[in-house]
Amino acid sequence: MIKPHGSDKLNPLYVADSAKREKLIQEAKGLPSILISSAAAGNAVMLGGGYFNPLTGYMNVADAMSVAKDMRTTSGLFWPTPVLNMVEDASAIKGAKRIALKDPNIAGNPVIAIQDVQAIETFTDEQMKTITKAVYGTEDMEHVGVKTFNTVGKAVISGPIQVLNYSYFDKEFADTFRTAVQLREEMGKLGWEKVVAFQTRNPMHLAHEELCRMAYTELKADGILIHMLLGKLKKGDIPADVRDACIRKMVEVYFEPNTVLVTGYGFDMLYAGPREAVLHAIFRQNSGCTHLIVGRDHAGVGDYYGPFDAQTIFDKITKKDLLIEIYRADHTAYSKKLNKVVMMNRVQNHTKEDFVLLSGTKVREMLGQGIKPPKEFSRPEVAEILIKYYESTTA
């Protein structure tokens, strides 16, 4: 199985020993505490599960700036996006060397992690602009990721952490949430060595299903990891539990047994396009995957990125920096001429009218009216689940 990023073995920051964890939970009660952002809580979950290996905690300003400019920490570690604990006001922990981090996503704000404070710094306006432009490619506050990054505060609390729980993810998504450690264990039990990962924040249409099948077949892979984001999305996106039900039904009906793992991870979407695609590759490598499918506008939003920017960013990344390989996908759709789903750039003598193409808006309209999209676009079993969801939102 492929090595983790930056080390020979995973370094998950979750305190697995129950006695040690309980001792830390008791210690946290007497520590100065601070309520962190949802983004920082997601970072803690990813650090806890080994997805952000080999990081040991939150970055300081120097590392964040280095990552933004060069995709490397000051020590030279290849990394595409800053991993930060940013707050508006850090005065409550001034002078503290060890603090409790309170989870904003659970009622009562329980402690999610304990952090050893190495520094409390403040980003300048110019530094915020530099990071924003480098990571998101724009400073437009209409970009949901840009707005989130620029509204959580400028105080930066850096230092290593010990993670005490996985927030709400392992409880609300008990059948789906998996750490990188657990994924490696499950793949090992299945005997998978070559594994192709598919990232999704949406229910999967027929084209997505067939894209996974294409990659699996062409790469002669042992298995497919369908890995869905379970954290916060932008307004209008399908909730995680509905996506989960759709994907599980699709896999149950249309894939061979023991060829697909349906799993999820606890992180808030950045919508950072190319930079986030590289981050996705890192935590799939840490999960044991050998390949990641990167399609058009991977991890994008609106018209902020070119359709293949998330693929071309990998052109300058060498095996020294990243072992996982990219399966590059074009737009995939059903060909009326060939009576099957194809990658559109691979077929000749086709016009736009030869494909079954529906916009997301059109599909949502159909589902909202109780109309199933054509079978060439969506599996009927999946459409039924989505129709019930849309009916519930208008009831």
- Tell me, yes or no, if the pTM score tops 0.85: yes
Cis status, amide bond into 54, omega within 30 of 0: yes
Tell me the residue type at 348: Q
Decide the pairing of beta strands 260-265 and 223-229: parallel
SS3 for 205? Answer: coil
- What CATH class has 177-394? alpha beta
Q: Which long-range contacts (CB under 8 A, 24 or more apart) does 280-283 make?
A: 280/199, 281/314, 281/322, 281/324, 281/326, 282/5, 282/51, 282/52, 282/79, 282/80, 282/322, 282/324, 283/46, 283/51, 283/52, 283/180
Two tokens at 6? 């930056």
Two tokens at 234? 């932008």
CA distance 295 to 264: 19
Q: Which long-range contacts (CB under 8 A, 24 or more apart) does 7-10 make?
A: 7/53, 7/54, 10/50, 10/53, 10/180, 10/181, 10/184, 10/286
Catalytic positions? 201-202
Sign of CA dihedral 182, 184, 185, 190: positive
Direct distance between the N- and C-terminal alpha carbons of the chain, in angstroms, rounded to an integer: 48
- Quick one: pLDDT at residue 395? 64
The phi, psi pair for 153, rounded to 5°, reads: 115, 165
Domain 18-170 in CATH 3.10.400.10: yes
Half-sphere exposure of 171 (CA within 13 A, CB side): 6
- Quick one: pLDDT at residue 35? 98
DSSP 369-385: TTPPPPTTTS-HHHHHH
Two tokens at 23? 């001792």
pLDDT in 10s for each residue of the chain, 395 residues: 899 999 999 999 999 999 999 999 999 999 999 999 999 999 999 999 999 999 999 999 999 999 999 999 999 999 999 999 999 999 999 999 999 999 999 999 999 999 999 999 999 999 999 999 999 999 999 999 999 999 999 999 999 999 999 999 999 999 999 999 999 999 999 999 999 999 998 899 999 999 999 999 999 999 999 999 998 877 778 888 999 999 999 999 999 999 999 999 999 999 999 999 999 999 999 999 999 999 989 999 999 999 999 999 999 999 999 999 999 999 999 999 999 999 999 999 999 999 999 888 899 899 999 999 999 999 999 999 999 999 998 76
CA distance 58 to 88: 16
CA distance 92 to 31: 11
Intrachain domains 18-170 and 177-394 with the same fold: no
- Quick one: pLDDT at residue 1? 85
CA distance 139 to 129: 7
Query: Any idea where the domains of the chain sit in the sequence?
Result: 18-170, 177-394
DSSP annotation of 194 = S
